[in-house]
A and B are shown apart, each in its own frame.
Chain A
Amino acid sequence: MFNPTDIIDLLAANVRQTRNPFGVRPSRFNTWWRGLSGFTRRPGDALLFTGLMYQAIPYINATTRYLERLEGSSWAGCLRWGRLVPASLRGRGLSVLTSGADRKKFNGILQTICRLLRQSEVNFFYHPEMDFYSGILLYDLGDQDGFVRHARFVARTLQLHGVRKVITVDPHTTYALKELYPRYTGASFEVQPYFSLLQCRGSERGNGKPPVVLHDPCFYGRYLELSEGPRRVLRDLGLEYVEVRNCGEFTSCCGGPAESVSPALNREILGRRAAELKAAAAPVVTFCPICLANLLKAGLPVEDLASLVGRYLAPEEK
């Protein structure tokens, strides 16, 4: 396990300098929307706010590969000096380590979500300059001051642009905007996860397909009690799903949150959850980028809810 303060100081310095925990310029890694047809910046009723989480996965994977080698070695203590290197340099180094396949995969999920929203005739817009990392990792790690400072900046920017409604795509950002921002910044937005807006009735295209097993992320299952939303979408599409014993409110954590301070602990928790899901003997579907990346690491056949639903409801335009 790393010294948590070394990790927190490094992440906090990155957030201060680049507004995200990786020290990478947003224009460098928030690229999923480029070249997407039907893309609208304004007008629109609700802002699609990705919180940069799907885009971050290639960077998280690259960081974890590096930390895994470092954990427990005599070099682990050197992390504390990392914050002395300018964020832009740290970020550039990290960018080199990310995998192109990862970037394509996770950007593709956001593009699918965009198509699904359009297909459901949701009135939304996307503006990359209004899409920020929520700061949730700083909150989770206990850096309250760093989180509040960043959250206030994000909330103020959205308010300045007259944003009142946001559509989110992951549980961590949803929790931050729905629960933490009103409490710590005084700013309230109408927050809805994308799957609650999908219209699938009358399009029972999944009939006869083999069932999938669901992995509920902790934040949707317990903190926000939103597990029913994805199930409704699957039912409306006629797709069968099976439940593991620890699901919904009582879902088991995949271990993702431990990644930044102890990749070894992450592996231990992940192994246990992977065994529970494996016992269901069906492909796994989840709706959180952190869970998705983590379960993929365990070698499970797993895909994102958006990818599955997209195949039936909004196939990619050729």
Chain B
Amino acid sequence: MALVDPDFAAELKAYGVDTALDCFNCGTCAAICPLNFEHFPRKMIRYVQVGAKQKILQQAQDLWRCLHCGLCTRTCPRQANPGELILGLRRYVLAQFRRA
């Protein structure tokens, strides 16, 4: 069971993650992503939407697989900026690790 933090999306704004709620989970980003890896990056964006902060922290290492290639951002039909969201999540996770 995963705990949900309803304020997670708001907390992430300070790290430049402010378009997660625009995503409607179509999966275009995961289909085009060259990593071809477990619904990445859509899965991470979904975690943000539902406030699954622990899931993000548990799977944090996967965020650094992203190549910052921008293909997902270029093709997202909602301009949700998935590539930049992943970058913002890295900033957030790094700040948490450094604080710990």
Among the 9-residue stretches B3-11, B45-53, B59-67, the one with 4 or more Cβ atoms under 8 Å from chain A is: B59-67
Residues of A within 8 A of B35 (CB): 265, 269
Minimum Cβ distance to chain B for residue A28 (Å): 29
Q: Which of A5, A143, A223, A265 is the one whose CB lies under 8 Å from B70?
A: A223
Bound CA span A286–B65, Å: 24
Tell me, yes or no, whether A280 is within 8 Å of chain B by CB.
no
Q: Is the CB of B93 within 8 A of A142?
A: yes
Q: A142-B90, A253-B69, A257-B68 are in contact. Are A3 and B34 (CB under 8 A)?
A: no
Minimum Cβ distance to chain B for residue A257 (Å): 4
Central interface residue in B63, B64, B73, by most chain A CB within 10 Å: B64
Minimum Cβ distance to chain B for residue A156 (Å): 23
Residues of A within 8 A of B94 (CB): 4-5, 8, 142-143
Residue of A nearest to B74 (CB): A222
A-B pair count, CB < 8 Å, reads: 65
Bound CA span A8–B68, Å: 16
Residues of B within 8 A of A144 (CB): 15, 91
Tell me, yes or no, whether A14 is within 8 Å of chain B by CB.
no
Q: Is the CB of A272 within 8 A of B64?
A: no
Residue of B nearest to A1 (CB): B61
Residues of A within 8 A of B91 (CB): 142-144
Residues of A within 8 A of B90 (CB): 4, 141-142
Residue of A nearest to B60 (CB): A4
Tell me, yes or no, whether A218 is within 8 Å of chain B by CB.
yes
Q: A142-B87, A144-B91 are in contact. Are A253 and B61 (CB under 8 A)?
A: no
| A residues adjacent to B (C-beta < 8 A) | 1, 3-5, 8, 140-144, 218, 222-223, 249-250, 252-253, 255-258, 261-262, 265, 269, 272
| B residues adjacent to A (C-beta < 8 A) | 15, 34-35, 61, 63-65, 67-71, 73-74, 87, 90-91, 93-94, 97-98
| 5 A-B pairs closest in CB distance | A142-B90, A253-B69, A4-B64, A222-B70, A257-B67
4 additional contacts (CB under 8 A) given A222-B71, A222-B73: A142-B90, A262-B64, A262-B65, A265-B35
